[in-house]
Amino acid sequence: MKYGYVRCNCYIQGKTVAPANEEFISVTEKKIDWVVPEQEKYKDIKKYYLLGSEFADWRLLACEHLDMYMANIFIGTNEKIKAFKITLEKLGGKNNYPVLVEQLTLENSNKLDVRLAQGLLKEVEILQRNTTEEEKYMLLQKGSVDILASFQPDTPFIILNAIHAKEHLCLGDQGFFINKHFEKRDAKLQMVVLSKTKEMFKSRHFIQETLPQNQYKFTDLSNGNSFETKEKLISKNNVPTTIEFEVIKKKTVVNEEYKETLSALKTLAKASIETGNSIFME
Ligand SMILES: [Zn+2]
């Protein structure tokens, strides 16, 4: 999940009601915060928590912007952003979309400098008019609209899960599949003498069953082939469940497919230009 936000300027422009204990307020480009020195904090810990919650209440409604953010908005799930980045590469990558390609990352947190906001706005507006068609394979839980993963042809398959590193759950243009990695070490030579990957399961319509001892069984619903592994697509707290999945092929259009993400990025770019503050993403 990725969110973006831009701080408003109401506090530094004196447009808010003055808070109690103003001496502890800290202003950074990222946010208006409350910082109490350690020694002050432990003098009276109860009072510290009380003042902290008073500060949070004040910041929430002290100006017309909730929590003093001119913009505070959901950009997209990690899956959506990964797919968006692949699309950007197909549309010319860094040459055409330098700000998006370099600044929209999957890192936990990053800052998009205010000096790049105008460029971001321009790139987003171009994409909002882009009607290029794309073909995608999408993995969904049957009956749900939430896409677990999407895959675009002509790109390498994606690994969805591989905790133990020996079995990989993947999505590619053949559908969902499980690869197992075999390795054989020679004790005398002290080296790997055999290393190969074999496809153990492949399906476009299948179920995942929870078995005892954290095992999961995948069964293809068209031919009955199955495979047991410790890997899983979705876990429901080890409650025995049978979940049905399907891989569907869908035609999408760039400006429709990324509508929400583009709209969120536009809001952030405009807020950044208006306030002169950078965009922070987490
Ligand atoms: Zn404000």
pLDDT tens-digit map of 160-176? 887 666 889 999 888 99
Ligand 1 center–CA 70 separation, angstroms: 6
Ligand 1 center–CA 65 separation, angstroms: 4
- Mean pLDDT value of segment 30-59: 88
- Mean pLDDT value of segment 247-268: 95
Categorize the per-residue pLDDT at 239 as very low, low, confident or very high, splitting at 50, 70 and 90.
Answer: low
**For residue 20, pLDDT beyond 80:** no
Ligand 1 center–CA 38 separation, angstroms: 29
In this prediction, residue 165 carries a pLDDT of: 67
**For residue 82, pLDDT beyond 80:** yes
| CB-based contacts of 210, cutoff 8 Å, min separation 6 | 216, 232, 235, 236, 238, 239, 240, 241, 242
In this prediction, residue 205 carries a pLDDT of: 97
pLDDT digits (tens, 9 = 90+) for 185-211: 888 888 888 888 899 999 999 999 998
* Structural tokens at position 271: 């807020």
In this prediction, residue 237 carries a pLDDT of: 66
In this prediction, residue 33 carries a pLDDT of: 92
What gap in Å lies between CA 26 and CA 38, rounded to an integer? 15
Ligand 1 center–CA 128 separation, angstroms: 28
| CB-based contacts of 81, cutoff 8 Å, min separation 6 | 2, 75, 104, 106, 261
In this prediction, residue 266 carries a pLDDT of: 98
Ligand 1 center–CA 221 separation, angstroms: 55
Ligand 1 center–CA 268 separation, angstroms: 15
Ligand 1 center–CA 281 separation, angstroms: 19
Ligand 1 center–CA 110 separation, angstroms: 22
Which of 27-31, 39-43, 122-126, 140-144 is predicted with the least confidence, judged by mean pLDDT?
39-43
| CB-based contacts of 65, cutoff 8 Å, min separation 6 | 8, 10
Alpha-carbon distances of 259 from 24, 147, 254, rounded to whole Å: 41, 15, 8
In this prediction, residue 163 carries a pLDDT of: 67
Ligand 1 center–CA 68 separation, angstroms: 5
The whole-chain average pLDDT of the chain stands at: 91
In this prediction, residue 190 carries a pLDDT of: 82
Q: What's the whole-model pTM score?
A: 0.78
Ligand 1 center–CA 11 separation, angstroms: 7
* % of residues, the chain, pLDDT over 70: 97
Amino acid at 47: K
* 75 CB-side CA count, 13 A: 25
In the sheet that holds 226-229, the strands lie side by side as: 147-151, 133-141, 242-253, 205-211, 215-220, 226-229
* Structural tokens at position 131: 């009607």
Ligand 1 center–CA 9 separation, angstroms: 6
